[in-house]
Chains A and B, each alone.
Chain A
Amino acid sequence: MIAVELSKLYRRPRTWAALVLLVALPTVVAILLATTGVGPRPGQGPAFLSAVLSDGSLFGVAALAIVLPLFLPISVAVIAGEAVAGEAQAGTLRYLLVRPVGRTRLLVAKLVAVFAFVATAVLLVAASGYVVGKALLGDGSVPPATFSGTSLTPAQIALRSVLAILYVMLSMMGIAATALALSTFTDSPLSATLGALALLIGSSLLLTLDAARSLQPYLPTRYWLSFVDLFRDPILWRNVERGVGLQAVYVVVLLGVAWANFQTKDITS
């Protein structure tokens, strides 16, 4: 069943369209930076962008930082919102279930497929960013600087990039679990996707509001950009750890909700 879901995911033209768009935005940014040479001043603009002018190999993580606030979660919400509701809307859900595919098994297969998309997207963005950065941006002749002002060896950059990629994947699973849970409640994939995006936008909005300070540690997007801390020297683990814990709670609770609802649901689609 997992193989079937993966095959369905990668046979959809839409999956590839989303991936192309995700790669296109950072590439455009890289081209602009390379042709103008005008980077944001340190501390402004998306993370890392001031650093990549000196070392293009950092553009992989910079690309992640570019797509992380909006592009990446939207594409993840579309794919995950489609998971169950899309089958319901197409009418294929009932045929899968009488095939029979157990409801838990179907949900797990959907979850694996969504994770496969998240992993593909994050890896593709990071890899294409790395390649583009190497080709167009700083060649590393000026030693790269961390946010703390010290230099990192290529090995350190590689290790920290891997950690950053894993962290971003986990962050995306929070939004994926939200969309998947909503997807079991509605027969309209659009509703599930928009519901997850509403959470994303609401969370981002509350983060800008000082009055919501007491809520902020629990908002799903609160620690998303904390992977930047992995490139400080020494690594600032506090927010990364909190981010991992928070996302894990979101994922576990929402998947639990999805399972409990789907298991007892009347399939009338």
Chain B
Amino acid sequence: MITTSALTKRYGPVLAVDRIDLDVRAGDIYGFLGANGSGKTTTVRMLLGLVLATSGTITVQDRPMPKHAAQVLPEVGALIEGPAAYGHLSGRTNLTLLDAAGGAPRVSARGSGRPDRARRIEAVLEQVGLADVGRRPVRTYSLGMRQRLGLAGALLRRPRMLILDEPTNGLDPQGIREIRELLLALNRDGTTIFLSSHLLAEVEQLCTRVGVLDRGRLVVQDDLGRLHAPTGNTVVITPDAAPARALLGSRVLRVAGDRLVVHGADPAAVNAVLVGAGVRVRELVAERRTLEEVVMAATAPAPAVVDRHGNTDVQVTTDAQVTTGPFGRSADTVERREEAS
């Protein structure tokens, strides 16, 4: 539903987006991850025809962009770098003006025509939980309410595809949960969702496919299930770390306190060896990488791993224990950001 080929954007000497090949399929919830300044927003803006690509091609809903923007964009709902509305007008009036601006068709198969405008506005306000705000002007809204209003604007035309940039920014945990459930429900009804975020947890809970952008390059693009696949190692937690290490010898890849990472995909086999020798085992599980580890391995300090393999399917073999860095402690960062704004 979205494909780009060698999409590049150069701002003067700065290469903001460097030959990326996105592949978002129909029905996906695609998580587009990247640190601040990695080129996410520039990419999103190019997909929507706001920023013109330096080179490369974009197809959205099977049609080239931005050439066919007039046909493509009515089927796309978007939230770009935070919501925006006229502060002196109410949320309802803002949605009315936004809907009228696009020149709604009088009749539409999907019920998105002009006569349905009032009904559609009530419906989307209900969907995002803003039905009760009444006539208050938007400047009195909280950040979370503005975010909901922005989402309502994106949903207004009942789009087949949503392109959302940080959709849960500014929402409280309850709100984040509501929006997540809303997006999942829309996706079940056939809406393809392209979600750009720097929140790994959000993407992990919501998405089926993931793309990771690092300094303008797409360093990972794969199904979340495959990224989470077992690594072929087993994690052992044991109070007898030293004897266990001696017993397993070169099969032990790493030790951290009572935690050992052992080569071998079958925990049962590892367990048999350890228990047979009288080593106590507290916990035993096949190692799976978290999304954070995948992202860290692919992005820090240099995307050499991906270069070596010559493709963007990550095959990371090194360990990634970094917990800080561009994505680290994402939850804290968000909290602080909310307070600051």
Contact = CB atoms under 8 A, between A and B. Distances in A.
A13 B89 CA distance: 11
A94 B101 contact: no
A264 B73 CA distance: 18
A103 to B, nearest CB: 10
Given A100-B69, A264-B52, A267-B50, A94 B84 contact: yes
A1 B97 contact: no
Contacts of A12: 88
A7 B80 CA distance: 25
Interface string B41-67: 000010011111000000000000000
Interface in A89-128: 90-92, 94-102
A36 interface: no
Sorted nearest first, the 7 A-B pairs with minimum C-beta distance are A91-B84, A100-B73, A99-B102, A267-B50, A266-B51, A92-B84, A98-B48
A90 B102 contact: no
Query: Interface residue tally of chain B, by bracket?
Result: 20 to 34
B51 A267 contact: yes
Contacts, number: 73
Contacts of B87: 90
A92 B82 contact: no
Given A101-B102, A102-B70, A268 B88 contact: no
A13 B88 CA distance: 9
Contacts of A100: 49, 69-70, 73-74, 102
Given A3-B100, A8-B97, A266-B52, A92 B86 contact: yes
A98 B88 contact: no
Given A95-B78, A96-B101, 9 more contacts: A1-B101, A90-B86, A91-B83, A95-B98, A100-B69, A101-B101, A264-B52, A268-B50, A268-B51
B249 interface: no
Contacts of A98: 48-50, 73, 76, 78, 80
Contacts of A11: 88-89
Interface of B: 45, 48-52, 69-70, 73-74, 76, 78, 80-89, 97-98, 100-103, 153
Nearest to A264: B52
Contacts of B88: 11-13
A90 B69 contact: no
Given A98-B48, A100-B69, A4 B80 contact: no
A268 B81 CA distance: 10
A11 B138 CA distance: 14
Given A12-B88, A98-B49, A98-B76, A7 B82 contact: no
Interface string A1-45: 101100110011100000000000000000000000000000000
26 contacts: A1-B101, A1-B103, A4-B97, A7-B97, A8-B86, A90-B85, A90-B87, A91-B83, A91-B84, A92-B84, A92-B85, A94-B45, A94-B80, A94-B81, A95-B84, A95-B98, A97-B48, A98-B76, A98-B78, A99-B98, A99-B101, A99-B102, A100-B69, A267-B50, A267-B51, A268-B45
Interface of A: 1, 3-4, 7-8, 11-13, 90-92, 94-102, 264, 266-268
Nearest to A1: B101
B86 A4 contact: no
Contacts of A99: 73, 98, 101-102
Contacts of B101: 1, 4, 96, 99, 101
B82 A91 contact: yes
Nearest to B82: A91
Contacts of B84: 90-92, 94-95
Nearest to B70: A100
Contacts of A7: 97
B189 to A, nearest CB: 22
A102 B153 CA distance: 18
A101 B78 CA distance: 14
Contact of B100 (A4, A91, A264): A4
A95 B153 contact: yes
A94 B50 contact: yes
A149 B325 CA distance: 84
A13 B50 CA distance: 30
B135 to A, nearest CB: 13
A175 B76 CA distance: 38
A98 B72 CA distance: 10
Nearest to A7: B97
A101 B50 CA distance: 11
Contacts of B98: 95-96, 99
Contacts of B153: 95
B316 to A, nearest CB: 34
